[in-house]
Amino acid sequence: VSVDVAAYMKERAAAVDAALDRFLPAESVRPERLHTAMRYSVFAGGKRLRPVLVIAGAEAVGGRMDDVMPTACAMEMIHTYSLVHDDLPCMDDDDLRRGRATVHKAFDEPTALLVGDGLQSLAFRHLLAAGDPRAAPLASLLAHNAWRMVQGQALDMDAQGRALTESEVLELMAGKTGALITAAVVGGAIAASGSPSGLEPVGQRLGLAFQIADDLLDLTGDAATLGKRVGKDQAAGKATLPALVGVDEARRRADTACDEALAALAPLGAPAEALRALARFVVTRKR
Ligand code: IPE
Ligand code: IPE
Ligand code: MG
Ligand code: MG
Ligand code: MG
C-alpha cells in the first residue's frame, strides 16, 4: 500500500478546514475585528501538517478521522497562534506568512497578540467541550507541549546573535517545533483510543527533520512557493543547524532523522503507511 501524500494531505486538510470553519467565531460576531483576524490567520493556506499527523497517528492505531477531529483542530489552532506571535516585530518581525501579509501588518499588533491568545484558549475549550473521555489526557498533552514550544521560542530568541553548541541548537529545535509535532502524532493515537507506544520517538524525529527542512528552505527556498520571506535566519543571527554544520550536513541530518522515524514505524505495519509518507514529505517538501 503506497500513499499519494499530496492527495492524502489535501483530502484531510479539507476536512480539518471544514471543522475549523464550524468552530471558529463568525466574522460578523462582535468583536468583529478579532474574529476576522483570527479567520484570516487560520484560513490562509497553511499545510495543516499537524492536524494531518493527528489523523495519520490515529489511523496508525486503527482509529478514524472523525473521532480525532477536535484534537486535530486544537493542534492547528495552537500552531497558528505560535506563528502569529512568532511573526510579531518583537520576535521574528515578518511581514509575510502563508502567502499573505502577517496579522500585525494586515490588522495591527494588539489584534495579532489577541488572535494568538484567543486561538490558544479556544484550542483548549474545543478539546474539552467535545465531551470525550480522553479530553483530559489530551488537554494535558497539548498544554505540556504548547508550554515546551514556548520554552523553545524563548531559547530561539535568547540565542539570536550568540553561538550555541550543537546540543543547545537541538534542544531549541525540539522545543519550538518538535514538541507540537510529537503531540500531534501521539495525540492522534490517544484520541483514537489506541496506544501511543512507539510514536513519541517518531514525533521527535519528524519534528527535528521538519525544523531542519524549515531552516534549509530559508536558505534555499523561494518566498513565492513558501509563502514567507527567505534568507531571514542568517540576517537575524538565528541559531540553526545549517548555520552550525553547513547545508550539506544539515540535509544529511534531516534524512537520517527521517530514516529513524521510518525505522521506528516499522513495527506498526500497513496502518502506518500514511505516517511513513508524511515522514518522507517532511524532508522533501518545497513549502
Ligand atoms: C512553520 O510551520 C513554523 C515552524 C514550526 C517551522 P509550517 O511550515 O507547518 O507552517 P504552515 O502551517 O504550513 O503555514
Ligand atoms: C517557528 O520557527 C517555530 C514556531 C512558530 C513555534 P521559525 O521562526 O523558524 O518559523 P518560520 O520560519 O518563521 O515559519
Ligand atoms: Mg522564530
Ligand atoms: Mg519565524
Ligand atoms: Mg524558519
Can you give the pLDDT at residue 90?
98
Please give the number of the atom of ligand 2 that sits closest to the Cα of 85. 5
CA-nearest residue for atom 11, ligand 1, is: 46
Residues 6+ apart with CB under 8 A from 26: 35
DSSP summary character for residue 101 = E
| Helical (H) or strand (E) element with 96 | strand 96-97
Distance, CA of 103 to CA of 106 (rounded, Å): 5
CA-nearest residue for atom 4, ligand 1, is: 177
Mutate to test the pocket of ligand 2, among 50, 81, 86, 173 (most ligand atoms within 8 A of CB): 86
Ligand 1 proximal residues by C-beta, below 6 Å: 46-47, 49, 83, 98, 177, 211, 214
Q: Is the pLDDT of residue 1 over 70?
A: no
Which amino acid is it at 41?
S
Strand partners, 207: none
Going from the Cα of 158 to the center of ligand 1, the distance in angstroms, rounded, reads: 21
Burial of 255 (0-12, 13-18, 19+ CB in 10 A): middle
Strand partners, 101: 96
Can you give the pLDDT at residue 2?
84
Mutate to test the pocket of ligand 1, among 103, 210, 232, 287 (most ligand atoms within 8 A of CB): 210
Confidence of residue 260 (pLDDT cuts 50, 70, 90): very high
- Give residue-wise pLDDT tens across range 136-178: 999 999 999 999 999 999 999 999 989 999 999 999 999 999 9
- Give residue-wise pLDDT tens across range 40-82: 999 999 999 999 999 999 999 999 999 999 999 999 999 999 9
Which amino acid is it at 277?
A
Q: Which ligand has its closest atom nearest to the C-alpha of 149?
A: 2
- Whole-model pTM? 0.98
Average pLDDT, the chain: 97
Q: For a pLDDT cut of 70, what percent of the chain falls above it?
A: 100
Query: CB pairs under 8 A, 24+ apart, for 194-197?
Result: 194/58, 194/60, 194/61, 194/62, 194/63, 195/61, 196/57, 196/61
Averaged pLDDT for residues 253-280 = 98
Mutate to test the pocket of ligand 2, among 41, 47, 77, 83 (most ligand atoms within 8 A of CB): 83
Can you give the pLDDT at residue 131?
80
Maximum Cα interatomic distance, the chain, rounded to a whole number of Å:
51
Averaged pLDDT for residues 80-96 = 98
Distance, CA of 170 to CA of 175 (rounded, Å): 9
Q: What is the 3-state secondary structure (H, E, C) of 108-168?
A: CHHHHHHHHHHHHHHHHHHHHHCCCCCHHHHHHHHHHHHHHHHHHHHHHHHHCCCCCCHHH
User: Which residues lie at CB < 5 A from ion ligand 5?
Assistant: 214
Going from the Cα of 133 to the center of ligand 1, the distance in angstroms, rounded, reads: 30
Q: For a pLDDT cut of 90, what percent of the chain falls above it?
A: 98
Going from the Cα of 66 to the center of ligand 3, the distance in angstroms, rounded, reads: 32
Averaged pLDDT for residues 192-205 = 96
Distance, CA of 129 to CA of 22 (rounded, Å): 14
Mutate to test the pocket of ligand 2, among 75, 97, 176, 222 (most ligand atoms within 8 A of CB): 176
DSSP summary character for residue 92 = T
Q: Is the pLDDT of residue 185 over 90?
A: yes
Can you give the pLDDT at residue 32?
98
Averaged pLDDT for residues 201-221 = 98
Distance, CA of 265 to CA of 277 (rounded, Å): 11
Ligand 2 proximal residues by C-beta, below 6 Å: 82-83, 86, 92, 149, 153, 176-177, 214, 228
C-alpha 91: how far from chain center: 18
Q: Is the pLDDT of residue 211 over 70?
A: yes
Q: Is the pLDDT of residue 237 over 90?
A: yes
- HSE value, Cβ hemisphere, 13 Å, CA-based, for 248: 0
